[in-house]
Chains A and B, each alone.
Chain A
Amino acid sequence: MKGLKFIIAGILFGIVMSKSEAISWFRIQEMFRFQSFHMYGIIGTAVVLGTIATFLIKKYKLRDYQGNPIVFMPKEMSVPRYLIGGIIFGLGWALTGACPGPMFVNLGFSYWAILVAIFGGLAGTYMYGVLKDKLPH
Protein backbone atom coordinates (compact mmCIF):
# COMPACT_ATOMS: atom_id res chain seq x y z
CA MET A 1 0.00 0.00 0.00
CA LYS A 2 1.45 3.28 -1.19
CA GLY A 3 -0.01 5.30 1.65
CA LEU A 4 1.28 3.12 4.46
CA LYS A 5 4.59 4.95 4.72
CA PHE A 6 2.76 8.19 5.48
CA ILE A 7 0.73 6.52 8.21
CA ILE A 8 3.95 5.14 9.72
CA ALA A 9 5.60 8.58 9.57
CA GLY A 10 2.49 10.01 11.24
CA ILE A 11 2.62 7.35 13.98
CA LEU A 12 6.25 8.23 14.65
CA PHE A 13 5.27 11.91 14.82
CA GLY A 14 2.37 11.16 17.16
CA ILE A 15 4.54 9.08 19.48
CA VAL A 16 7.34 11.61 19.63
CA MET A 17 4.96 14.51 20.30
CA SER A 18 3.35 12.48 23.10
CA LYS A 19 6.54 11.19 24.64
CA SER A 20 8.19 14.62 24.63
CA GLU A 21 5.03 16.01 26.26
CA ALA A 22 4.81 18.62 23.49
CA ILE A 23 1.08 17.85 23.28
CA SER A 24 0.59 19.09 26.84
CA TRP A 25 -1.10 22.40 27.60
CA PHE A 26 1.18 22.62 30.64
CA ARG A 27 4.33 22.40 28.51
CA ILE A 28 3.10 25.17 26.21
CA GLN A 29 2.34 27.37 29.22
CA GLU A 30 5.80 26.66 30.60
CA MET A 31 7.27 27.67 27.24
CA PHE A 32 5.36 30.95 27.00
CA ARG A 33 6.38 31.74 30.59
CA PHE A 34 10.04 31.03 29.75
CA GLN A 35 10.24 28.73 32.76
CA SER A 36 11.84 25.72 31.15
CA PHE A 37 14.20 24.94 28.33
CA HIS A 38 12.22 21.83 27.35
CA MET A 39 10.13 23.11 24.40
CA TYR A 40 12.94 25.37 23.19
CA GLY A 41 15.24 22.37 23.28
CA ILE A 42 12.81 20.31 21.18
CA ILE A 43 12.18 23.00 18.56
CA GLY A 44 15.83 24.16 18.62
CA THR A 45 17.22 20.65 18.07
CA ALA A 46 14.71 20.01 15.29
CA VAL A 47 15.59 23.29 13.56
CA VAL A 48 19.37 22.86 13.86
CA LEU A 49 19.25 19.29 12.51
CA GLY A 50 16.62 20.27 9.94
CA THR A 51 18.80 23.14 8.71
CA ILE A 52 21.80 20.83 8.31
CA ALA A 53 19.65 18.26 6.46
CA THR A 54 18.11 20.91 4.20
CA PHE A 55 21.57 22.32 3.45
CA LEU A 56 22.93 18.88 2.56
CA ILE A 57 19.92 18.01 0.38
CA LYS A 58 20.44 21.24 -1.58
CA LYS A 59 24.22 20.97 -1.74
CA TYR A 60 24.24 17.42 -3.05
CA LYS A 61 21.03 17.91 -5.07
CA LEU A 62 19.52 14.82 -3.47
CA ARG A 63 16.45 13.21 -4.98
CA ASP A 64 13.38 11.64 -3.44
CA TYR A 65 12.62 7.92 -3.56
CA GLN A 66 11.07 8.23 -7.01
CA GLY A 67 14.14 9.97 -8.37
CA ASN A 68 12.59 13.43 -8.52
CA PRO A 69 14.66 16.37 -7.32
CA ILE A 70 13.74 17.59 -3.84
CA VAL A 71 12.67 21.19 -4.26
CA PHE A 72 12.16 23.79 -1.55
CA MET A 73 9.58 26.45 -2.35
CA PRO A 74 10.75 29.83 -1.09
CA LYS A 75 7.92 31.59 0.75
CA GLU A 76 6.65 34.81 -0.74
CA MET A 77 7.88 37.80 1.24
CA SER A 78 5.35 39.83 3.19
CA VAL A 79 5.21 41.22 6.69
CA PRO A 80 1.49 41.71 7.51
CA ARG A 81 0.49 38.27 6.35
CA TYR A 82 2.96 36.36 8.50
CA LEU A 83 2.87 38.75 11.45
CA ILE A 84 -0.92 39.13 11.78
CA GLY A 85 -1.58 35.51 10.86
CA GLY A 86 1.13 34.41 13.27
CA ILE A 87 -0.25 36.53 16.13
CA ILE A 88 -3.77 35.13 15.66
CA PHE A 89 -2.33 31.62 15.58
CA GLY A 90 -0.31 32.29 18.74
CA LEU A 91 -3.39 33.57 20.60
CA GLY A 92 -5.07 30.24 19.97
CA TRP A 93 -1.96 28.14 20.55
CA ALA A 94 -1.53 29.39 24.12
CA LEU A 95 -5.26 29.06 24.79
CA THR A 96 -5.71 25.43 23.73
CA GLY A 97 -2.10 24.43 24.37
CA ALA A 98 -2.06 22.53 21.11
CA CYS A 99 -1.07 23.49 17.59
CA PRO A 100 -2.72 21.56 14.73
CA GLY A 101 -0.56 18.39 14.92
CA PRO A 102 -0.86 17.90 18.68
CA MET A 103 -4.63 18.53 18.46
CA PHE A 104 -5.00 15.25 16.61
CA VAL A 105 -2.43 13.45 18.76
CA ASN A 106 -4.54 14.48 21.78
CA LEU A 107 -7.51 12.86 20.10
CA GLY A 108 -5.57 9.58 20.00
CA PHE A 109 -4.92 10.12 23.69
CA SER A 110 -8.73 10.12 24.21
CA TYR A 111 -8.88 13.76 25.28
CA TRP A 112 -12.27 14.04 23.60
CA ALA A 113 -12.69 17.71 24.53
CA ILE A 114 -10.10 18.53 21.87
CA LEU A 115 -12.75 17.71 19.23
CA VAL A 116 -14.21 21.13 20.01
CA ALA A 117 -10.84 22.74 19.22
CA ILE A 118 -10.55 20.70 16.02
CA PHE A 119 -14.02 21.82 14.99
CA GLY A 120 -12.99 25.40 15.82
CA GLY A 121 -9.86 24.94 13.71
CA LEU A 122 -11.92 23.82 10.72
CA ALA A 123 -14.34 26.74 11.21
CA GLY A 124 -11.41 29.17 11.44
CA THR A 125 -9.84 27.74 8.30
CA TYR A 126 -13.18 28.06 6.51
CA MET A 127 -13.58 31.65 7.69
CA TYR A 128 -10.11 32.49 6.36
CA GLY A 129 -11.12 31.05 2.99
CA VAL A 130 -14.21 33.29 2.98
CA LEU A 131 -12.35 36.45 4.00
CA LYS A 132 -9.08 35.80 2.17
CA ASP A 133 -9.44 38.48 -0.49
CA LYS A 134 -10.43 41.14 2.03
CA LEU A 135 -7.41 40.61 4.29
CA PRO A 136 -4.03 42.36 3.89
CA HIS A 137 -1.43 39.89 2.63
Chain B
Amino acid sequence: MLELLRQPWPWYTSGAVIAFVMVVLLFFGKSFGFSSNLRTICSACGAGKHVKFFDFNWRAQTWNLLFLVGAILGGFISAEFLSNGEAVQISQATIQDLSELGISAPNGIQPEEIFSLEALFTVKGFLILLLGGFAIGFGARYAGGCTSGHAISGLSNLQLPSMIAVIGFFIGGLFTTFVLLPLIF
Protein backbone atom coordinates (compact mmCIF):
# COMPACT_ATOMS: atom_id res chain seq x y z
CA MET B 1 0.00 0.00 0.00
CA LEU B 2 2.77 2.38 1.00
CA GLU B 3 4.61 1.48 -2.20
CA LEU B 4 1.53 2.48 -4.18
CA LEU B 5 1.31 5.79 -2.31
CA ARG B 6 4.98 6.46 -3.01
CA GLN B 7 4.43 6.42 -6.76
CA PRO B 8 3.30 9.67 -8.37
CA TRP B 9 -0.48 9.76 -8.24
CA PRO B 10 -2.41 9.76 -11.52
CA TRP B 11 -4.21 12.94 -12.46
CA TYR B 12 -7.71 11.61 -11.84
CA THR B 13 -6.86 10.66 -8.25
CA SER B 14 -5.42 14.10 -7.63
CA GLY B 15 -8.31 15.93 -9.27
CA ALA B 16 -10.77 13.94 -7.18
CA VAL B 17 -8.90 14.63 -3.93
CA ILE B 18 -8.70 18.36 -4.71
CA ALA B 19 -12.47 18.45 -5.33
CA PHE B 20 -12.88 16.54 -2.06
CA VAL B 21 -10.81 19.14 -0.18
CA MET B 22 -12.99 21.91 -1.65
CA VAL B 23 -16.20 20.12 -0.63
CA VAL B 24 -14.87 19.34 2.86
CA LEU B 25 -14.11 23.04 3.39
CA LEU B 26 -17.64 23.93 2.24
CA PHE B 27 -19.04 21.57 4.86
CA PHE B 28 -16.77 23.24 7.41
CA GLY B 29 -18.54 26.47 6.42
CA LYS B 30 -15.53 27.88 4.55
CA SER B 31 -14.58 28.54 0.98
CA PHE B 32 -11.46 27.10 -0.68
CA GLY B 33 -9.13 29.93 -1.67
CA PHE B 34 -5.46 29.91 -0.77
CA SER B 35 -4.11 33.31 -1.79
CA SER B 36 -6.23 35.28 0.71
CA ASN B 37 -3.74 33.93 3.25
CA LEU B 38 -1.18 36.38 1.87
CA ARG B 39 -3.53 39.26 2.66
CA THR B 40 -4.21 37.80 6.10
CA ILE B 41 -0.48 37.53 6.85
CA CYS B 42 0.06 41.18 5.77
CA SER B 43 -2.76 42.18 8.07
CA ALA B 44 -1.48 40.07 10.97
CA CYS B 45 1.90 41.79 10.56
CA GLY B 46 0.25 45.15 11.12
CA ALA B 47 -0.25 46.37 7.53
CA GLY B 48 -3.76 47.52 8.53
CA LYS B 49 -2.24 50.47 10.38
CA HIS B 50 -1.01 51.95 7.12
CA VAL B 51 -3.26 50.58 4.38
CA LYS B 52 -7.05 50.30 4.60
CA PHE B 53 -7.15 47.10 2.53
CA PHE B 54 -5.46 45.25 5.40
CA ASP B 55 -7.61 46.77 8.13
CA PHE B 56 -10.01 43.89 8.75
CA ASN B 57 -10.56 41.23 11.36
CA TRP B 58 -7.85 38.87 10.15
CA ARG B 59 -8.40 36.54 13.11
CA ALA B 60 -11.59 35.35 11.40
CA GLN B 61 -9.26 33.91 8.73
CA THR B 62 -7.26 31.83 11.22
CA TRP B 63 -8.84 28.67 9.81
CA ASN B 64 -7.18 29.38 6.44
CA LEU B 65 -3.80 29.98 8.11
CA LEU B 66 -4.20 26.57 9.76
CA PHE B 67 -4.94 25.13 6.32
CA LEU B 68 -1.69 26.77 5.15
CA VAL B 69 0.23 25.18 8.04
CA GLY B 70 -1.32 21.85 7.03
CA ALA B 71 -0.19 22.38 3.42
CA ILE B 72 3.41 22.85 4.62
CA LEU B 73 3.12 19.72 6.78
CA GLY B 74 1.64 17.84 3.82
CA GLY B 75 4.69 18.77 1.74
CA PHE B 76 6.97 17.64 4.57
CA ILE B 77 5.16 14.31 4.98
CA SER B 78 5.31 13.69 1.22
CA ALA B 79 9.01 14.45 1.07
CA GLU B 80 9.89 12.36 4.14
CA PHE B 81 7.58 9.36 3.92
CA LEU B 82 5.77 9.24 0.60
CA SER B 83 8.52 9.99 -1.87
CA ASN B 84 10.45 7.46 -3.92
CA GLY B 85 12.93 10.16 -4.86
CA GLU B 86 12.31 9.82 -8.56
CA ALA B 87 12.51 12.71 -10.96
CA VAL B 88 9.29 14.25 -12.28
CA GLN B 89 8.22 12.30 -15.37
CA ILE B 90 7.60 15.15 -17.76
CA SER B 91 7.27 14.64 -21.49
CA GLN B 92 10.31 14.35 -23.77
CA ALA B 93 9.10 17.38 -25.73
CA THR B 94 9.25 19.55 -22.59
CA ILE B 95 12.68 18.21 -21.63
CA GLN B 96 13.87 19.03 -25.16
CA ASP B 97 12.40 22.57 -25.12
CA LEU B 98 13.84 23.32 -21.69
CA SER B 99 17.27 21.99 -22.58
CA GLU B 100 17.36 24.52 -25.42
CA LEU B 101 16.88 27.18 -22.74
CA GLY B 102 19.72 25.65 -20.75
CA ILE B 103 17.54 24.04 -18.09
CA SER B 104 18.59 20.46 -17.45
CA ALA B 105 16.20 17.51 -17.30
CA PRO B 106 14.44 16.87 -13.97
CA ASN B 107 16.56 15.38 -11.24
CA GLY B 108 13.94 15.83 -8.55
CA ILE B 109 10.84 17.98 -8.37
CA GLN B 110 12.31 21.39 -9.11
CA PRO B 111 14.97 22.62 -11.56
CA GLU B 112 18.41 23.20 -10.07
CA GLU B 113 18.74 26.30 -12.26
CA ILE B 114 16.07 28.12 -10.22
CA PHE B 115 15.60 26.36 -6.89
CA SER B 116 19.11 25.40 -5.80
CA LEU B 117 20.77 27.63 -3.24
CA GLU B 118 23.57 28.30 -5.76
CA ALA B 119 21.00 29.72 -8.19
CA LEU B 120 19.30 31.67 -5.42
CA PHE B 121 22.52 33.56 -4.68
CA THR B 122 22.79 34.82 -8.23
CA VAL B 123 21.04 38.05 -9.21
CA LYS B 124 19.05 36.25 -11.92
CA GLY B 125 17.93 33.39 -9.71
CA PHE B 126 16.97 35.69 -6.87
CA LEU B 127 14.99 38.06 -9.12
CA ILE B 128 13.12 35.23 -10.87
CA LEU B 129 11.67 34.05 -7.57
CA LEU B 130 11.20 37.50 -6.06
CA LEU B 131 9.50 39.09 -9.07
CA GLY B 132 7.58 35.92 -9.89
CA GLY B 133 6.27 35.83 -6.34
CA PHE B 134 5.49 39.54 -6.45
CA ALA B 135 3.41 39.13 -9.63
CA ILE B 136 1.57 36.18 -8.08
CA GLY B 137 0.72 38.11 -4.92
CA PHE B 138 -0.25 41.30 -6.74
CA GLY B 139 -2.19 39.51 -9.51
CA ALA B 140 -4.01 37.16 -7.17
CA ARG B 141 -5.42 40.02 -5.08
CA TYR B 142 -6.17 42.14 -8.13
CA ALA B 143 -8.07 39.25 -9.72
CA GLY B 144 -9.62 38.36 -6.36
CA GLY B 145 -8.27 34.82 -6.25
CA CYS B 146 -5.71 32.32 -7.47
CA THR B 147 -5.89 28.83 -8.92
CA SER B 148 -7.87 27.47 -5.99
CA GLY B 149 -10.30 30.38 -5.64
CA HIS B 150 -10.93 30.91 -9.36
CA ALA B 151 -9.96 27.80 -11.32
CA ILE B 152 -11.37 25.33 -8.78
CA SER B 153 -13.98 27.01 -6.55
CA GLY B 154 -15.06 29.67 -9.08
CA LEU B 155 -15.34 27.46 -12.16
CA SER B 156 -17.15 24.82 -10.10
CA ASN B 157 -19.72 27.49 -9.31
CA LEU B 158 -19.87 28.42 -13.04
CA GLN B 159 -18.64 31.95 -12.40
CA LEU B 160 -17.88 33.92 -15.58
CA PRO B 161 -15.43 36.21 -13.69
CA SER B 162 -13.43 33.12 -12.76
CA MET B 163 -13.35 32.02 -16.40
CA ILE B 164 -11.99 35.46 -17.36
CA ALA B 165 -9.39 35.20 -14.60
CA VAL B 166 -8.32 31.72 -15.76
CA ILE B 167 -7.99 33.01 -19.34
CA GLY B 168 -5.82 35.79 -17.89
CA PHE B 169 -3.70 33.21 -16.01
CA PHE B 170 -3.02 31.53 -19.35
CA ILE B 171 -2.26 34.71 -21.29
CA GLY B 172 0.28 35.65 -18.63
CA GLY B 173 1.68 32.13 -18.35
CA LEU B 174 2.11 31.77 -22.11
CA PHE B 175 3.83 35.14 -22.31
CA THR B 176 6.32 34.14 -19.62
CA THR B 177 6.87 30.71 -21.16
CA PHE B 178 7.40 31.79 -24.77
CA VAL B 179 8.68 35.37 -24.45
CA LEU B 180 10.20 36.00 -21.02
CA LEU B 181 11.91 32.66 -20.33
CA PRO B 182 13.88 32.69 -23.63
CA LEU B 183 14.98 36.25 -22.79
CA ILE B 184 15.96 35.38 -19.22
CA PHE B 185 17.78 32.08 -19.89
A residues contacting B by CB (< 8 A) are 3, 5-33, 35-39, 41-51, 53-54, 57, 62, 64-66, 68, 70, 72-79, 81-101, 103-114, 116-130, 132, 135
Taking A29-B94, A43-B152 as known contacts, 20 extra A-B pairs with beta carbons closer than 8 A to each other, sorted by chain A number, are A10-B68, A15-B77, A18-B75, A19-B14, A23-B75, A32-B177, A36-B91, A65-B27, A72-B157, A85-B139, A95-B128, A95-B135, A99-B146, A105-B78, A122-B41, A123-B133, A125-B140, A127-B134, A127-B138, A129-B42
Complex CA distance for A94 and B181, rounded to whole angstroms: 9
Which of B54, B63, B156 contacts A129, CB < 8 Å?
Answer: B54
Complex CA distance for A36 and B162, rounded to whole angstroms: 23
Q: Whole-angstrom distance from the CB of B155 to the nearest CB of chain A? A: 5
Tell me the dominant secondary structure on chain B's binding face.
Answer: helix
Which B residues are in CB contact (< 8 Å) with A5? 28
* Chain B residue with Cβ nearest A137: B142
Which of B133, B141, B167 contacts A117, CB < 8 Å?
Answer: B133
Q: List 19 A-B contacts (CB under 8 A).
A: A11-B70, A12-B74, A27-B88, A29-B94, A30-B94, A41-B15, A46-B18, A51-B158, A70-B26, A82-B168, A83-B164, A88-B142, A92-B134, A95-B128, A99-B136, A99-B147, A114-B115, A124-B141, A125-B35
Cβ-defined contact, A86 with B136, below 8 A: no
Cβ-defined contact, A24 with B110, below 8 A: yes
Of residues 14 through 33 on chain B, the ones whose CB sits less than 8 Å from some CB of chain A are 14-31
Which of B12, B70, B117 contacts A7, CB < 8 Å?
Answer: B70
Q: State how many residues of chain B have any CB contact under 8 Å with chain A.
A: 124
- B118-144 Cβ-contact flags toward A at 8 Å (1 or 0): 011000011011111111111111111
| A11, A23, A37, A130 — most chain B CB neighbours (10 Å) | A11
Q: Whole-angstrom distance from the CB of B34 to the nearest CB of chain A? A: 4
Known: A75-B162, A87-B168. A20 touches B157 (CB 8 A): no
Cβ-defined contact, B165 with A85, below 8 A: yes
Cβ-defined contact, A100 with B97, below 8 A: no
Which A residues are in CB contact (< 8 Å) with B66? 3, 6-7, 10
Cβ-defined contact, B172 with A87, below 8 A: yes
Cβ-defined contact, B167 with A120, below 8 A: no
